Structure 1
Amino acid sequence: MEFVYQCQNLPEVRSQIDRIDRALVALLAERGLYVQQAAAFKQSSDEVEGGKRVDQVMRRVEKLAGELGADPQLTAEVYRTMISHFIASEMREFDRRQATMGKTAPPA
């Protein structure tokens, strides 16, 4: 990291951690909104599960962890959990869209 504020006491440390937590949660929320947008473009459950894309993301964040000094194991675990959650959410939305399309489609 280029700059980390040198705290003078525990309350300052906690204040910095709280600031970072707020930013992380905001970024998770933002990422989730983009995942929702991506779901609308996917035409199959295979696209939702996105094995190749998941592999790309994992390689990229593991590299970033190394570059930024983050714990690579923690980073990978957090991302696997997050991606798993978002895939499940996308799959529910995909299934809902498929069911809705099936109900509104004209008879063959």
Structure 2
Amino acid sequence: MTAAKLPADCETKDDVRAEIDRIDQALLTLFAERHGYVTRMAEIKTDPHEAYDPTRIEAIITKVRERSLDLDLDEDQAELIWRTLIDWNINYEKGIIAARRRAR
């Protein structure tokens, strides 16, 4: 495995693509780890309505926007990504909780 290159050290499109592929793999690994915790949360919750917590969601979004600014990222784009992730997680949790309740 080769060492990561800084963006400025990439001299070709292939160099850039290789680094994006490396980062994408790291992101997928992190999403998979996060998914394990989302699954566990769904196992702990007892009512499908618990999956949607607007206060918690807005706290997360506020934090993501602040952290994005600290990283010189577009905070609107980061918010869009996180809202999509949160919406997916809500639906996933609701499905697990509802299925468990039906199985009783």
Same fold (TM over 0.5): yes
The letter of the residue matching 1:77 is L
- Root-mean-square deviation (CA, aligned residues, Å) is 1.3
TM-score, length basis structure 2: 0.87
TM-score, length basis structure 1: 0.84
The equivalent residue for 1:99 is 102
User: How far does the alpha carbon of each residue in 1:33-59 deviate from its partner, in whole angstroms, 9 at most, with x for none?
Assistant: 110011111122332112111111111
Give every structure 1 segment of 4 or more consecutive aligned residues whose post-TM-superposition deviation is greater than 3 Å.
Answer: none
Higher gyration radius (CA):
1
Match of 1:54 among 49, 53, 57: 57
Q: Which structure 2 segments of 5+ residues have no match?
A: none
The letter of the residue matching 1:90 is E
Match of 1:90 among 80, 85, 93: 93
Q: Which structure 1 segments of 5+ residues have no match?
A: 102-108
Map 1:24-103 to 2 at 5 A: 24-101=27-104
**How many residue pairs were aligned?**
98
SS of the residue corresponding to residue 46 of structure 2 reads: coil
Alpha-carbon distance in structure 1 between the residues aligned to 2:49 and 2:63: 21
> How far has the Cα of 1:8 moved from its partner?
1.7
Q: Percent identity?
A: 30
